[in-house]
Structure 1
């Protein structure tokens, strides 16, 4: 059977989808024999309808009777309106891999649209078992596979000279809790949209591309947290943490850094089951938790993180999820 993975190219000049997670999935699947089909999305609204339709027509021969992997979401109603009927008519097996879920923060109409979209596929690859249960409860009726963890392809050499600080990487606009995080631990920040002022224990180090970022991280632990409060996960971001796998977890794992995570986050299950970090109910516990980490316990977590590092660098989790769809 022919195998195809779709890539949405939003700018023909740079030829990139602009997403590390999606690009890594595409690269892993092409290494397994999938053919990448690039679908170009114009940025000119008046041409959007015709450009999308023409792009899909060109792809029909390639995807006829093929197994097709589609990465969700694509932020174009016009595009998905044309794409889904074509997929149903000409493909043999349809797989969708979820990167983001809109229904966690959308109105009922948007939620219904998303459910209809996901139910158009034969297999749905969710982040983890909690997201799987959530999707079932919301009405997804197709076979759902749990990914476990996003892979993170990098050739960066793993640093064995780690400093006893905390690393946090991500969109800092979503991490207001850092403005209230007073602790003895030094926290090194990386990412766009920093706040103007942080406590003295927090240092901002600028932003780097996803491919450049790993070589700048040398923390003892990577922090996985979101939202406004250091006390607990709350609000929209806290709700989302209960079901999703943050890509920063894969970043930390790619370079073998153990993590500290909110105990109610969905990714906490993976962290504890694999022994790659600590789960806390509040960041008020941060200093006490770090004080109780012995050299022996840290070495054990670090060694476990290095095992996961080899996997995410090799595309292990994507390959296993796709294999389970066959």
Structure 2
């Protein structure tokens, strides 16, 4: 049985979720939408107004003759900055409390990578007083805090990058591998259910990558290296990347895709659009059909949405960080 504190949080989340769609409500309308009692709604809404989560945006006539106040979520209650580090480019965008992009830009990294990241966070804090957190996606193997391996950024190997950035900026943060984040974003974009499994493969400037998602969460493994195909010596030695690919499908790449498929038996296998995958899509499909002879093979998808999925995944992480756990009276 939930105690009073837990029940308060459950009720608060119901009210917050109603407002996060961006629609304004009176207390009466909110009680009808959430199924909570009017006194419960009134107490929580008053607290949210005091803490600036909600703002009064007008009044509305009620059947009783009195005007009801109309409340709306304060989009600038909290802000977050999401960052994508790939190659020598650092892309960033500022999100408001409703998940809408307020501002965005790109920085070309010249020299001090850590200094560039820190400088961007400090500048964002000065320009956005409500900034409370950051999310960083990076083309490297991480455990959520430390960069364990990076062929693109060897200077970061072994560094607790999350701690460095949190200490330098004073912001709460989240750090993740680009494939983890984009696959989680794909799961959200496609509105997959909690039992859906998805494998994604991507060929980018930093090489060949993959990710495995169940119920919207990435499977990272005991040592946080699940899906890091580039750690396989024969894959790394092939030097396959977004700017260089052979005319024929390498046996090593095909075997990786088929092995993943047979071991995990997913609902979907997604190949992010690249000339290499486009040219060999039918061949990969035929090999999958052969492996799953007699049963329905995983649905093979070809998607142009890697960047969109990446940004959706980062935005979801940012929204979780911005979402306060409690409202102080």
| TM-score interval, normalised by the smaller of the two chains | 0.3 to 0.5
TM-score by structure 2 length?
A: 0.34
**Larger of the two Rg values belongs to structure:** 2
TM-score by structure 1 length?
A: 0.34
